[in-house]
Structure 1
Amino acid sequence: MGKSKAPGNVPNRPVYSRISYLYQAATYLASQPKDITNDTVATQDKKTLYSSKSNHGLSRRFITDLRSASLKSQIRLSPAMKHTICKFCDSLLIEGDTSSSSIENKSKGGKKPWADVLVVKCYACGGVKRFPVQAPRQKRRPIREVNSKKETNQSLEAGNLREGS
């Protein structure tokens, strides 16, 4: 028999730790300002100059490794993490630095406030991601069907009571 599972035990803890570390490292590298190199910076060694130029590329590499680790181990990324990653070029979406965002409402002249959509555009590849704003998530289909059956039964019973009185 296998080991009994403790209540605080998380399966695949090393993979979760690796994904978290890669995301933190990518965020740190993407947030670092890029150094401007000129002739007066010749005293620095070449390693620091190359690393300052390739922060964005290294950040994208970490995000690629993160996504491959999550796909291989079949671990879902949190929605908050997925919203900050461009799914087309694997770059980190930082507002104003690597992406721009705007609110869009294409409903009949913007009359429907529940139709607001957050549009995030990546500067690296031009990819666009859209997220609904202030819209509650729809329940899953089996739950919706059960609820609709209950509602129809309740309305039929209420109608029968009115007619019987």
Structure 2
Amino acid sequence: MARKKEAKAQGPSRDHLQTYQRMNFLYQASALMAATTAQTQQEPRSKWNDNRTRSLNGLGRYYNSTMRKMARRLVIRLDPHVKRSICKRCDTMLLPGKTSAVRIQHQPETTTVTTCLICNTHKRLIARPDYELFNDKAEIRPDMETEAVEKADA
């Protein structure tokens, strides 16, 4: 007789739990580095650039590239929200107003265009009011089912 299949547990497997934790740390550290500027004591390089602050953006890009390499090597999918917040070309964390510019286009369909201010790459996302990412649907994630029931009761 054949064995019964065990129900798959939701969330990361025990094998990749430490990897997910490390990737989460790298993502958070990258966001912090992209938002932080450091004061320098060095003389300005040119007489026109008297700004003595320096961005830690390069370190954040290194963290993002390391996170992507880990996911690629272990064949782990990154969350779509994480993918949308990282530039594909230069691995910069896309923070509106600091490292990216966000605008809305209305032709031919309403689209959110995020432009990386480092490498000028454009990321276009169609903005449909009824669109929901696959992993955000309540049927897929059991922890979201309770939230959906609570919203329906209210």
Provide the TM-score with structure 2 as the length reference: 0.67
- Tell me how far apart the structure 2 counterparts of residues 79 and 10 of structure 1 sit (CA, whole Å): 16
Matching of residue 120 in structure 1 with residue 114 in structure 2: yes
- Tell me how far apart the structure 2 counterparts of residues 9 and 126 of structure 1 sit (CA, whole Å): 35
**Partner of residue 27, structure 2:** 23
- Tell me how far apart the structure 2 counterparts of residues 102 and 71 of structure 1 sit (CA, whole Å): 31
Distance 1:10 1:77, change over 3 A: closer
Q: What amino acid maps onto 1:104 in structure 2?
A: Q
Higher normalized strand content (fraction of residues): 2
- Tell me how far apart the structure 1 counterparts of residues 41 and 68 of structure 2 sit (CA, whole Å): 32
Higher normalized helix content (fraction of residues): 1
- Tell me how far apart the structure 2 counterparts of residues 78 and 9 of structure 1 sit (CA, whole Å): 12
**Partner of residue 14, structure 1:** 18
- Tell me how far apart the structure 2 counterparts of residues 94 and 78 of structure 1 sit (CA, whole Å): 17
Conservation of the 8 A alpha-carbon contact between 2:103 and 2:112: yes
Q: Percent identity?
A: 27
**Partner of residue 88, structure 1:** 89
Matching of residue 129 in structure 1 with residue 123 in structure 2: yes
**Partner of residue 77, structure 1:** 78
Q: What amino acid maps onto 2:81 in structure 1?
A: A
Q: What amino acid maps onto 2:35 in structure 1?
A: S
List gaps (5 residues or longer) in structure 2: 1-5, 44-52, 135-154
**Displacement after TM superposition at 1:34 (Å):** 3.3
Conservation of the 8 A alpha-carbon contact between 2:87 and 2:116: yes
- Tell me how far apart the structure 2 counterparts of residues 135 and 6 of structure 1 sit (CA, whole Å): 32
Distance 1:6 1:126, change over 3 A: closer
**Displacement after TM superposition at 1:93 (Å):** 0.5
- Tell me how far apart the structure 2 counterparts of residues 104 and 123 of structure 1 sit (CA, whole Å): 18
